[in-house]
Amino acid sequence: MYRSLLIPSALSLLLMSCQDDGITGPFDYHRDTPDWMKAKIDSISSIPNNVGTRVLRYEWRGEFIFYIEVPISSCAYCELYDQEGAKIQFTVPGTFEDFLLNKQNEIIVWEWPRACAPFWILGCMALRSPPETVSLLTTV
């Protein structure tokens, strides 16, 4: 009797240990964005000159890289950060080119709500929404 319970129990334990634990999957702003980046997004979204700014996340060299894209500056003010929040300085020749060629899995972490871009003076700049909320606002 115990033997007939032992084999199914062992198999179910084996299958449970192989199940996905939910760590991977679709991007979730609240779960997958570090607190330091959320604070930076709050700061960005409070400055009217940052209309159109986006925060993107890439994978590069086995790490997540956060790229702040400010469209009005043609990247004079674009910034890259590693997953711990340290600003990346491309001082070694060819490193920036390597990033451009080998970055993968672009995710939009946050973007200035497009529906509010021309009307920031009316209070839209207070919106600091994750992408799933922004998309709802822009499709209405």
127 touches 114 (CB < 8 A) = no
- Is the confidence at residue 19, as pLDDT, over 80? no
| Contact indicator for 72, 49 with CB cutoff of 8 Å | yes
pLDDT given at position 41: 93
CA dist., res. 73 & res. 71, Å (int): 5
Give the model's pLDDT for residue 102. Answer: 96
Percent of the chain with pLDDT over 70: 59
Q: What is the mean pLDDT of residues 45-73?
A: 88
- Do the beta carbons of residue 29 and residue 110 sit within 8 Å? yes
The residue among 5 and 36 whose pLDDT is bigger is 36
> Mean pLDDT over residues 55-78, rounded?
85
What is the reported pLDDT for 50?
A: 82
Q: What percent of the chain has pLDDT over 90?
A: 36
- DSSP category for residue 90: -
DSSP 87: B
Residue 121 in this model has a pLDDT that exceeds 80: no
In this prediction, residues 57-85 reach a mean pLDDT of 87
pLDDT attached to residue 78:
79
Question: To which residue do tokens 């871009």 refer?
Answer: 117
**Chain-wide mean pLDDT for the chain?**
73
pLDDT tens-digit profile of 88-110?
988 889 988 999 999 999 999 99
